[in-house]
């Protein structure tokens, strides 16, 4: 981590929040409350953790504004402490990339247009007719295909593959191992049972402020575009197939797969290990719970779970009935014994 040192007063000024305690207190790092050391700041958001205060060696705490803290501590207060936590993490975040400029070991093709203050690390390949915006960082081992566009302030981590004709917006973060623009999975079965590949000639469009986690694959469209809309955040190990459209500010959690030509609305949450079949529509503001298998359309504001996925309340009723089966079987067996004994008496 970079050596970053602030006084309590200076840190409160940067964050625009109040502080209590020694204004000259040195804060040189952050830690969990139980593991904090002298001159570190720790986060305390829930009252149930107040009991840990006497055990911590932290020199400063970030707390909710309605917490009562012993005067022996220096602390920062906010009515939105979790948001302030993100700002503090940004301040103390270490830099993955300190290289500036175009590295001499990068392979730059013809007609590449660079904006100001671009960083291209070693062993990056940039294809023909690529446009790179200002303040873009591309780390080592990444591949940018022909005719692609990467807009301002986008950050591309090592070993990312962006294939031809893809469009990446502003302030996009793409983590290691991501493949954008691989062929969509399209085949036609012939009479002899062979599978004939359907050429995938479309592209992928990633809009502004999208974050794509490690080892995500986003396929190019057969025709047209696979689109990830503004503000959507994609977790690690997600697969998005050809011609999918994911709306604004949606959250797609790890190990989810979305099949071809499905449309996901705005502000949708798809929890981990879920699967969504192709050619479906999921309405705005819907939630798909973990390990759901979605096989039909759902309107906006749906809460979905199970396999096959259904309204979550219906799924809970279904689970409740399934849980009663052992008891029902037992009761049936008891009734059979009663009937059997009655028959013997007759």
Catalytic residues: 242
Closest C-alpha among 299, 267, 306 to residue 280: 299
Q: With left for phi above 0 and alpha for psi between -120 and 50, is residue 85 left, alpha or beta?
A: alpha
Burial class (CB in 10 A: 0-12, 13-18, 19+), 185: middle
What's the farthest any 2 CA atoms get from each other in the chain?
99
Tell how far CA 39 is from the center of its chain: 32
CA distances 162 to 56, 168, 180, 213, Å, are: 46, 9, 5, 14
* Tokens 């190019």 -> residue: 220
The answer to whether 176 and 158 have CB atoms below 8 angstroms apart is yes
Burial class (CB in 10 A: 0-12, 13-18, 19+), 59: buried
């Amino acid at each position: 981590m970079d050596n970053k040192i602030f006084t309590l007063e200076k840190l409160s000024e940067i964050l625009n929040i109040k502080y209590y305690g020694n204004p000259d207190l040195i804060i040189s790092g952050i830690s969990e409350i139980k593991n904090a050391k002298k001159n570190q700041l720790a986060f305390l958001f829930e009252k149930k953790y107040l009991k840990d205060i006497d055990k911590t060696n932290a020199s400063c705490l970030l707390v909710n504004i309605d917490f009562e803290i012993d005067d022996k501590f220096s602390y920062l207060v906010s009515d939105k402490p979790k948001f302030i936590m993100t700002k503090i993490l940004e301040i103390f975040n270490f830099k993955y990339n300190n290289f500036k400029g175009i590295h001499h070991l990068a392979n730059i093709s013809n007609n590449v247009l660079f904006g100001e203050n671009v960083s291209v690390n070693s062993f990056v390949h940039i294809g023909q007719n690529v446009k790179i915006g200002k303040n873009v960082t591309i780390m080592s081992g990444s591949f940018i295909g022909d005719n692609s566009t990467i807009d301002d302030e986008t950050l591309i981590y090592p070993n990312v593959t962006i294939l031809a004709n893809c469009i990446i917006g502003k302030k996009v973060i793409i983590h290691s191992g991501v493949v954008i623009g691989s062929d969509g999975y399209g085949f036609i079965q012939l009479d002899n049972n062979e599978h004939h590949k359907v050429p995938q000639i479309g592209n992928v469009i990633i809009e502004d402020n999208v974050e794509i986690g490690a080892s995500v694959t986003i396929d190019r469209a057969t025709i047209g575009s696979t689109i990830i809309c503004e503000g959507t955040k994609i977790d690690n190990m997600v697969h998005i197939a050809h011609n999918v459209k994911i709306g604004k500010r949606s959250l797609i959690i790890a190990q989810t797969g979305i099949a071809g030509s499905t449309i996901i609305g705005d502000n949708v949450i798809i929890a981990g290990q879920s699967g969504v079949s192709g050619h479906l529509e999921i309405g705005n503001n819907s939630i798909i719970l973990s390990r759901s298998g979605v096989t039909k359309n759902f309107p906006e504001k749906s809460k979905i779970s199970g396999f096959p996925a259904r309204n979550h309340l219906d799924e809970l009723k279904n689970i409740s009935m399934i849980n009663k089966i052992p008891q029902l079987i037992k009761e049936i067996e008891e009734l059979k014994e009663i009937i059997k004994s009655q028959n013997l008496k007759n």
